[in-house]
Amino acid sequence: MKSPMKSIVRELRAEDVAACESLLAGLPDWFGLEETNREYIGGLLARPSAVAEADGAIAGFLSIEQHNPRSAEVHVMAVDAALHRTGVGSALLAWAERWCRENGVPWLHVKTRGPSTPDPGYEKTRHFYLASGFEPLFETRDLWGPEDAALILVKTLPERDPPDAPA
C-alpha cells in the first residue's frame, strides 16, 4: 500500500458532479463505456452518494443503490488512479457501510468483472473488495456478456460501526 492519504469523505453535492465525471473519464480501463458512464453520473444526485476530498480536490466518489430494505449495492465507485492503494477507496467504502447501518440495511454488495474473464486491473479491484470483507456470491456471464463475466460479492454488515472505523 502506498502512503496513507488523509481524505475527507462527505456527501456529494451538485457542484461535485462535474469533477466526478472528469474522474471517470480518467479511468478508461474501468469506465470505458460512455453510455454506462452517463448513467452513473446522471444518477449521482438521485442516489446516496459521497465524495472523498484530498488536498482540496475530488479524489474519488461512490454511489449506492438500495434494491430493497435489506440490500444495497455499491452502484459505482471510482478513485483517481494516482491515489489507488492510499486509503481513499477504503474511506469511501466505510462511508457506504455506515450509510447502510444507519438505514438498517444489513447486506452490501458490488458487481465487478469476474476471474473467468481475466483482467489485471479488475484483479486488483477484486482483491480490494475481498480484503474489505466482501465474499464472492456468484459469477455469471449472462449479465455483461460471455467476454465480460460479472462477479457479485456481498458483505454482511455488523449493526454498529467497528471501534476503529474512520469517521
Q: Please report, in tens digits, the pLDDT of each residue of the chain (167 residues total).
A: 555 667 899 999 999 999 999 999 999 888 888 899 999 999 999 999 999 999 889 999 999 999 999 999 999 999 999 999 999 999 999 999 999 999 999 999 999 999 999 888 889 999 999 999 999 999 999 999 999 999 999 999 987 665 655 55
Inside any domain, residue 1:
no
Task: Look at residue 113 and give its three-state secondary structure.
Answer: strand
Residue 25: what pLDDT? 93
Report which residue type is found at 38. R
Q: What is the pLDDT of residue 7?
A: 80
- Rounded to an integer, what is the distance from CA 43 to the centroid of its chain? 14
Asked if residue 87 is part of any domain, the answer here is: yes
Query: Alpha-carbon dihedral of residues 64, 125, 133, 45, nearest 10 degrees?
Result: -10
75 inside domain: yes
The C-alpha atoms of residue 62 and residue 93 are separated, in whole angstroms, by: 8
Q: What is the pLDDT of residue 16?
A: 97
Q: What is the domain-level CATH number for residue 39?
A: 3.40.630.30
What pLDDT is recorded for position 68? 96
pLDDT at 21: 96
> Is 98 part of a structural domain of the chain?
yes
Q: Give a yes or no: residue 167 inside a domain.
A: no
The pLDDT score that the predictor gives to residue 43 is: 94
Q: Please give the tally of structural domains in the chain.
A: 1
- Model pTM? 0.89
Give the domain extent around 149. Answer: 8-156
Q: Which residues contact 105 (CB under 8 A, 6 or more apart)?
A: 66, 69, 70, 71, 72, 99, 157
